[in-house]
Amino acid sequence: MIPGFPNAMPVQGLTGGLLIGLAAALMLLGLGRIAGVSGLAARATGITNAGAPRDVAVAFVLGLPLGALIIAVLTGGITAHFPKSVWPLVIGGLLVGYGTRLGSGCTSGHGVCGLSRLSPRSMVATALFISSGFVTVGLLRAGGGL
Amino acid sequence: MRIVIALASGLLFGAGLAWSGMADPMRVQAFLDLFGNWDPTLVFVMGGAIIPMAIAWIIKGRLSTPLAAPGFELPGTTQLDRPLAAGAILFGMGWGISGLCPGPALADLAIAPLAVLPFVLAMFAGMILHRFFPLKLR
């Protein structure tokens, strides 16, 4: 626990982060590719024909919920709180889908793989999407939408 | 072999997301909520993920090929352009509105399938929209 931030989970955050980094390292050193979820999801569904072989993308994308399921079973359940209305999910989903394709990546590809590679494009993208998120949530809070 | 490695990578990734609390959209949104009850957990997740990955990039520099593929296929673009910036800003808006990005959304299909389904469907619709109507930015 961190004083002043009663909800923070620094130890689980760090250890979970290490698992995510190991996953990305396995993709890089094993298959020579970036573990970018938005790109692999687009490839797995056939929305794009560029990128990883289809079977690689499908296997990775199927692994995501299966890995989460294993943790949920081992720990007796994972809590996830969703917005009460469906609209934030629909509007958010459209923006995330369109934006990650236009910007060539999301939190995993730019944030984890690109930052650790010191890629200038990923550093700019990560700074922008985090800032954009700060402003968006700040505006939602100011407008009483949270 | 490549399918086994890809599945293992996805499993580890999904497990890490669930274990770290990132499968909870409210926790992610709380990281973006600087003027509310700010939750710094995501900073630890990013820090934790970057450590093994930074080591992996160093090891990669000493390999001529990956362990189970003919060659490295990595993004080579270095240009900072408008699509990158506009895409990242739109993505950040959607991330803030929903508390979800692609990895946690797909992982949540196992944790809260009905709750996350509208987001996942809308996300793929957004990706399809981009395929047919990509913003032309100069």
* Partners of residue B91 in chain A, C-beta under 8 Å: 95-96, 99-100, 103, 106, 129, 132
Q: How far is B117 from chain A (nearest CA, A)?
A: 9
pLDDT of residue A63: 98
Name the pLDDT band for A1 (thresholds 50, 70, 90): low
Determine the structural domain holding residue B19 and report its residue range.
Answer: 2-132
Q: How far is B87 from chain A (nearest CA, A)?
A: 4
How many distinct structural domains can be found in chain B? 1
Flag whether B79 is in a domain.
Answer: yes
* Partners of residue B59 in chain A, C-beta under 8 Å: 29
The answer to whether the CB of A29 falls within 8 A of the CB of B5 is no
Residue corresponding to tokens 């094993």: A30
pLDDT of residue B129: 98
pTM of the predicted structure, to 2 decimals:
0.97
Category of B75 on φ-ψ map: left (φ > 0), alpha (ψ -120 to 50) or beta: beta
pLDDT of residue B69: 96
pLDDT at A3 over 90: no
Name the pLDDT band for A145 (thresholds 50, 70, 90): confident
> A41-82: per-residue pLDDT in tens?
999 999 999 999 999 999 999 999 999 999 999 999 999 999
Q: Which two tokens stand for residue A84?
A: 């009460």
Q: What is the mean pLDDT of residues A101-105?
A: 97
Answer yes or no: do B128 and A108 touch at CB < 8 A: no
Gap between the Cα atoms of B98 and A87, Å rounded = 9
Flag whether B125 is in a domain.
Answer: yes
Residue corresponding to tokens 């010191």: A118
C-alpha torsion sign, points B61, B64, B69, B75: positive
Tell me if ipTM is over 0.90: yes
For chain A, domain boundaries: 1-81, 82-146
**What stretches in chain B show pLDDT beneath 70?**
138
Q: Which two tokens stand for residue A9?
A: 């989970």
Q: Which two tokens stand for residue B102?
A: 């692609």
> B66-89: per-residue pLDDT in tens?
999 999 999 988 899 999 999 999
pLDDT of residue A92: 98
